[in-house]
Amino acid sequence: MMRKRFFEEMEAITAGKEPRGIIGSTNAAQCIALPNMARELNTEGITLADFDRHPLLRQRLKGFQFHYGQSPAVRRAFVEAMGIAEA
């Protein structure tokens, strides 16, 4: 799908059209807010107590799945840095 889109945009350029997704204004291009369903959470943060009550996030306090295979020393450092009990 991405390849098809790439070639469509190349054809548009060849035809003298401007491809989609181009921001011509340098001022507008300085900071582009991308879609983020958890923008407030990611920018403002959350307390550890609220984190522990959150139905999805609280699982990360028990074992963050993306840290699979990390050494015990790294896991201890993570647990200490996060201020959570060892799972």
**pLDDT by residue (tens digit) across 27-83?**
888 888 888 888 888 889 888 889 888 888 887 777 666 667 788 888 888 888 878
* Domain edges within the chain: 1-32, 45-87
Task: Give the CA distances from residue 38 to residues 26, 44, 53, 57, 86, in Å, rounded to whole numbers and listed in that order.
Answer: 27, 10, 16, 12, 27
The pTM of the full predicted model, rounded to 2 decimals, is: 0.37
